[in-house]
Structure 1
Amino acid sequence: MTEKESLFSSSSDWMRIPVLTFFKDARLVFKSDSLGREILSIALPAAMALTADPIASLVDTAFIGQIGPVELAAVGVSIALFNQASRIAIFPLVSVTTSFVAEEDTLSGANSHQVEEYGCLEAATPPDAETKEFLPQKNSDVKSFNLVKDVEHKRRHIPSASSALFIGGILGVIQAILLISAAKPLLSFMGVTSDSPMLHPAQQYLKLRSLGAPAVLLSLAMQGVFRGFKDTKTPLYATVAGDATNIALDPLFIFVFRMGVTGAAIAHVISQYLISVILLWSLMKQVDVIPPSIKHLQFDRFLKNGFLLLMRVIAVTFCVTLAASLAARHGSTSMAAFQVCLQVWLAVSLLADGLAVAGQAILAGAFANKDYEKATATASRVLQMGLVLGAALAFILGTGLHFGAKVFTKDANVLRLIRIGIPFVALTQPLNSLAFVFDGVNFGASDFAYSAFSMVIVAVISIICLLILSSSGGFIGIWIALTIYMSLRAFAGFLRIGTGSGPWEFLRSQPH
């Protein structure tokens, strides 16, 4: 072995350490190569769509903040409760739908290439001599065959898409009934007692907004389907159209018609149904949304993996909801400030979720094709992009939120608490970005079991921290506990790939 070969071998052995995957081709993080363009083409529209709804909620918050701090706090509790209920219902469905649709679309794409090459529907091998006798041999016959094939496959048959729509619609109706019928006890759990001035506006807003739950869950299920197709532009267009409608109707209903928080809720419900109609119309042009029979629906597969992610999302939801509940127990001033900080925290953090969506869609296809080289390169690139994005967001929020806080409220006490929360909102952005991107990477590898059980452990530790630090540190204590929570989430994601375990075991045997 020559000196050069020996050096290359040693380098390859060194690069087999799984944790070094995070540094693979780090110099290419900003390079506009094919992988970079593919990631950005999915991530940018996805991030814009994901942040559109929180931005609309921020607009709601800004308009309602002009009414008064009590109404602002009341709507803050209601939004937190509605969003967390929606997240419990839809997050598992969206996540598994994206992975399943990406896998099915990738494999059906491979099949169609073989159909074009061999003129038959056998996916694995070329036709044998006996099969060839039944295939069209003349050019005219081939053209006729391909024309029929194109007509038949103009709309794709993706079983996971039909399953997602059916489940999403059912869950939406269930959520609406639950939130409307149990609004008062749920708000009481959130810290809004029967003698609180927040109760009436909070209950009013929650019941009205819950009427839009079927549209919210159905539209999010369809977004999961489009993400699986690596099409994040269609959900973006639909979301922007809906949220622009919401923003236009807010001042009309709140101030012109003097409907207050009721008007804000009605505007939001109208916007959600508009989004749902646009997405369904677009999806029906691409996919056979009605399956040939109920046997084609993949309920078993959805329920098995969906249950794992349901455990995970309940753990996540309980942490965030508990934080909001603890803030509400400190009074309307604390809750109003917490609502503003939380909405900003979540809205900008969701920019990283765009990278997570891109990573999940690309990785699901790569794992379906057993293309581990692309899987490694994709995971490295999106994680590196996530870290850079988090650092940029930290700088922007740290410098800009001090001046922008007055957009949400004029109350001096609320502003004082918001300024206390700004350092936590800003400095946790790198952690948030990595945590969200790690989620997408592990979902892309269909590593749902690890994602669920690790999150339960993280939640247990975080809940203990929230209870202890909230009682001793008040508003600041809640944000310290949330910082610990996001740190643990990021570490749990790092641990799986960094140790080369589970679906990432191939990292131990392949040079990077």
Structure 2
Amino acid sequence: MGNMPLFVFFKDIRNVFKADELGLEIVHIALPTLLALLADPVASLVDTAFVGHIGPVELAAVGISIAVFNQVSKIAIFPLVSITTSFVAEEDATEELRANEQVHENVENGTPISMEMEMEELVPLVGKSSSTEMVKLECVRRHIPSASSALVVGSILGFIQAVFLIFAANPVLNYMGVDSNSPMLKPARQYLTLRSLGAPAVLLSLAVQGVFRGFKDTKTPLYATIVGDVANIILDPILMFVFHMGVRGAAIAHVVSQYLISLILLWKLNKQVDLLTSGVKDLRFGQFLKNGFLLLVRVIAATFCVTLAAALAARQGPTTMAAFQVCLQIWLAASLLADGLAVAGQAILASAFARKDHSKAVATASRVLQFGSRIFTKDINVLQLISLGIPFVAVTQPINALAFVFDGVNYGASDFAYSAYSMVLVALVSILCLFLLSSHGFVGIWVALSVFMSLRALVGFWRIGTGMGPWSFLRE
């Protein structure tokens, strides 16, 4: 590689789809994550479809409420999940190295090893395949302080979010352009208030998912998500149309599904991790807060752009907002598929950096980046606007894929500071574009969102391509 870090993007490019050990490891982590990430947007699309058949006003109301809920949720979700994944992967790799060193030392000194020690310490020596890691998971309840820290932080943040949204629903919706005279206010307030009751379950379940991702186990979150989303889809028509609850039924169905997912994940995690042995001194609250603040800045900047776009669409009326909601759900559903590769890259890279295995870090970054590059309403006016937005949804997918994968790669390197500051700069430029281009209507908003995602991909490319920060070893 010499002094050209840019070559990392082309390293072993012929092997991008090769089914070697690294390729299989990425696929085993990424594929279940892709399916899990797809499941939730699909459930949201089903919600959107059901609500759309009530009327365009209700569809627009639910759209603006979801934008508000997602804005507040993402302020806590992405820092919590990203930090948890990296910390758990690092702790797990460090503990594995320590166990291996202890076993080797015992063997060299002739110290006898008990059957219990063999079970707890020799398993990591068997290999690094996902199947071996699952054997280890099943045999030993591990002591991972970051897991306990994540659950505590997630529970507290979820409670705070619920209280905030319930008591601030009216002023927040007014800020989003839904004033007291708007026909969207009542259904939007109903949906937002009821859905907020599920905030503790959302934050807690995602904290647990971060732990499983750190263990490179993405199948368990997938199964739990599928069960919860199927319950949501089944309850939607029953509560909305059989019990005539309208948008309230959609919100209640979603809340029930989130608590179901949380219970399943906690039950499974308790079998694998000893969650109650960590004392206060062992918990990593300081590191969670420090790095969490950096990612909080990043998430606020990123989600503010999307939320501002929703607010500008809402100010143009229910028809524009309804069309924007449908296009946004499709856009996010397709874009977040790339997050599966981001999760795989983050988990493997965090483990590689903890082991100081730079060769694997380079190989992983190259492979995931190369992978990454490679019926809702009957209202005729809404449908006409949707037809204008769909081309932007389709054209921006390659850009979105790279942006998400770059995020995961930099998180895996614990490059949280750069991720935060670069996103603030991107957000400032994108906000300016939104205000300037929104005067051109629905299409102008989508052009500005395309600029936003392009800049996100660019700053990720720049960090690794110039060999800065944790990637400085690429210039050696």
TM-score (norm 1): 0.88
What's the Cα RMSD here?
1.6
Q: Which amino acid is the alignment partner of residue 304 of structure 2?
A: F
DSSP-derived class of the 2:281 partner:
helix
DSSP-derived class of the 2:441 partner:
helix
Write the deviation string for residues 89-119 of structure 1: whole angstroms up to 9, x where unpaired.
1210111110000000011111222333333
Q: Is the 8 A contact 1:291 1:297 kept in 2?
A: no
Write the deviation string for residues 42-77 of structure 1: whole angstroms up to 9, x where unpaired.
001011111211111110000000100000000000
Which consecutive residues of structure 2, in runs of 5 or more, have no partner in the other structure?
Answer: 123-135
Q: Which amino acid is the alignment partner of residue 301 of structure 1?
A: Q
Q: Taking structure 1 as reference, are residues 251 and 112 closer, same or farther at Cα in structure 2, changes over 3 Å only? A: same
Aligned mate of 1:408, from 376, 380, 386 = 376
Give the match for residue 130 of structure 2. none
DSSP-derived class of the 2:401 partner:
helix
Give the match for residue 53 of structure 1. 40
Aligned mate of 2:88, from 101, 113, 120 = 101
Report the Cα offset of residue 291 of structure 1: 3.3
Aligned mate of 1:86, from 70, 73, 93 = 73
DSSP-derived class of the 2:89 partner:
helix
Q: Which amino acid is the alignment partner of residue 313 of structure 1?
A: V
Give the match for residue 32 of structure 1. 19
Q: Is the 8 A contact 2:120 2:140 kept in 1?
A: no
Write the deviation string for residues 369-414 of structure 1: whole angstroms up to 9, x where unpaired.
11111111111110110111xxxxxxxxxxxxxxxxxx10111110
Write the deviation string for residues 309-356 of structure 1: whole angstroms up to 9, x where unpaired.
000000011101000000000000000000000000001111100000
Q: Which amino acid is the alignment partner of residue 469 of structure 1?
A: L
| Larger Cα-atom Rg | 1
Q: Distance in 2 between matches of 1:421 and 1:106?
A: 45
Q: Is the 8 A contact 1:64 1:261 kept in 2?
A: yes
Q: Distance in 2 between matches of 1:174 and 1:97?
A: 19
Q: Is the 8 A contact 1:205 1:262 kept in 2?
A: yes
DSSP-derived class of the 1:230 partner:
coil
DSSP-derived class of the 2:352 partner:
helix
Which consecutive residues of structure 1, in runs of 5 or more, have no partner in the other structure?
Answer: 1-11, 121-125, 389-406
Q: Distance in 2 between matches of 1:492 and 1:182?
A: 35
1:271 aligns to 2:257 (yes or no):
yes
Q: Is the 8 A contact 1:431 1:490 kept in 2?
A: yes
1:161 aligns to 2:147 (yes or no):
yes
Q: Distance in 1 between matches of 2:431 and 2:174?
A: 19
Q: Which amino acid is the alignment partner of residue 436 of structure 1?
A: F
1:142 aligns to 2:109 (yes or no):
no
Give the match for residue 367 of structure 2. 381
Give the match for residue 360 of structure 1. 346
Q: Taking structure 1 as reference, are residues 180 and 387 closer, same or farther at Cα in structure 2, changes over 3 Å only? A: same
Report the Cα offset of residue 145 of structure 1: 5.0
Q: Is the 8 A contact 2:148 2:278 kept in 1?
A: no
Q: Is the 8 A contact 2:100 2:121 kept in 1?
A: no
Q: Is the 8 A contact 1:312 1:456 kept in 2?
A: yes
1:234 aligns to 2:220 (yes or no):
yes
Aligned mate of 2:168, from 175, 182, 188 = 182
Write the deviation string for residues 178-227 of structure 1: whole angstroms up to 9, x where unpaired.
00000011111111111000000000000000000000000000000000
Q: Which amino acid is the alignment partner of residue 212 of structure 1?
A: G
Write the deviation string for residues 278-304 of structure 1: whole angstroms up to 9, x where unpaired.
000000000011234211111101101
After TM superposition, list the pairs within 5 Å mapping 1:427-506 onto structure 2: 427-471=395-439, 473-506=440-473
1:115 aligns to 2:99 (yes or no):
no
Q: Taking structure 1 as reference, are residues 144 and 46 closer, same or farther at Cα in structure 2, changes over 3 Å only? A: closer
DSSP-derived class of the 1:410 partner:
coil
Q: Taking structure 1 as reference, are residues 24 and 292 closer, same or farther at Cα in structure 2, changes over 3 Å only? A: closer
Q: Distance in 2 between matches of 1:321 and 1:146?
A: 53
Q: Taking structure 1 as reference, are residues 21 and 289 closer, same or farther at Cα in structure 2, changes over 3 Å only? A: same
Q: Distance in 2 between matches of 1:142 and 1:171?
A: 43
Write the deviation string for residues 136-186 of structure 1: whole angstroms up to 9, x where unpaired.
3xxxx6336546879998210001000000000000000000000000111
Task: Provide the aligned length of Structure 1 versus Structure 2.
Answer: 462
Give the match for residue 327 of structure 2. 341
Q: Distance in 2 between matches of 1:149 and 1:309?
A: 35
DSSP-derived class of the 2:422 partner:
helix
Q: Percent identity?
A: 69
Report the Cα offset of residue 465 of structure 1: 0.5
Q: Distance in 2 between matches of 1:223 and 1:386?
A: 22
Give the match for residue 209 of structure 2. 223
Q: Is the 8 A contact 1:469 1:480 kept in 2?
A: yes
Q: Which amino acid is the alignment partner of residue 274 of structure 1?
A: L
Q: Distance in 2 between matches of 1:431 and 1:148?
A: 44
Q: Distance in 2 between matches of 1:410 and 1:501?
A: 52
TM-score (norm 2): 0.94
Q: Taking structure 1 as reference, are residues 30 and 144 closer, same or farther at Cα in structure 2, changes over 3 Å only? A: closer
Report the Cα offset of residue 26 of structure 1: 1.2
